[in-house]
Structure 1
């Protein structure tokens, strides 16, 4: 991440995969420029139609946030809060990511564009996922109670521990990714890394 004081440009770079080229985004006075491997382009802030912030943990990084911006021509740009550093390590870019995303929102709002600001997953994916999560949690709770009734203490402890872990991770994921809208001057704190 670099900030060029003389031009007012703000740049954010991350590597979405270990073998791929780094993705670079640059905010200028009136546009967002991107360089994504072989693709590059420019979009005026008033051409951005939709922005979605979400929480998307991955195998190697369970604290990862993503902001996606859709342009008028259908192009989707993705900015993530982590970058591949080595074969087994992803680096958190929390502060540069937050600074870039806040400034992107500020410039979009200043352009006067009609933009939809959304959080989480699409409702058609979220609510079925929530129902499956609730069903599995209920099933694990019933199994734990049944194991306790049969005096299978080890099995009850194992299932209970798995249930607690499932509720913690799954509940956190669903809580952060609940579909809703927000204002560009009030970004959702639970979708920004600390």
Structure 2
């Protein structure tokens, strides 16, 4: 690559906020690095690199992808008109037990990417959420688990197993919060440059108190 890259998997300061972004997809290997240049999106990941003119980018998909170690995790899939695609995550592996969020840098980069794509006036699909079939499967799983828990809860109450009933209530609350949030955020949709989906982006930074 012709431009210097930051060694750490974060953006290089206020002067580059939004134009550069990097994250580590695993503890092994180098960071995935991206830069918004005048010519297009420059990227380097998994031993490959490229420069995609903004007008050649065919689609952007934003989604919410929590994992057990980090519930606040977002993903952007960027597809070139050739069919090649790259993924950008809002978190970066730091240690075996730590996946650190990079909310501010990720959001700034994604917002500026959309601004560059809009200025390029290319034909692009802006998609939010997961695929319709995956979404339907998630909804079905949520419904089946809810029915099963309701049946077990009714049986526990009828037989006087109140400790078991309390456990089921706690499990239902936790599962509903995690799976329900995933389904709610990832509803398949199309969005526009004028209105990026807030549920599929980290919260904007708060203004410092004056």
What interval of TM-score do these two structures reach, taking the shorter chain for normalisation?
over 0.9
CA drift of 1:3 comes to: 6.1
**Counterpart in 2 of 1:42?**
51
CA drift of 1:8 comes to: 10
* Distance in structure 2 (CA, Å) of the matches to 1:92 and 1:64: 7
For 1:88, which of 94, 97, 105 is the aligned residue? 97
**Counterpart in 1 of 2:135?**
126
Show structure 2 runs of 5+ residues with no match: 1-10, 204-210
1:33–1:42 contact (8 Å) kept in structure 2: yes
For 2:183, which of 174, 184, 188 is the aligned residue? 174
After the TM superposition, which of the residue ranges 134-143 and 89-98 deviates more from structure 2? 134-143
For 1:151, which of 144, 157, 160 is the aligned residue? 160
Show structure 1 runs of 5+ residues with no match: none
Is 1:55 equivalent to 2:64 in the alignment? Answer: yes
Relative to total residues, which structure has the larger strand share, 1 or 2? 1
* Distance in structure 2 (CA, Å) of the matches to 1:102 and 1:185: 11
Alpha-carbon RMSD: 1.7
For 1:164, which of 173, 187, 191 is the aligned residue? 173
Normalised TM-score (structure 2): 0.87
- How many residues are paired up? 193
User: Residues 66-145 of structure 1 correspond to what in structure 2 (within 5 A)?
Assistant: 66-145=75-154
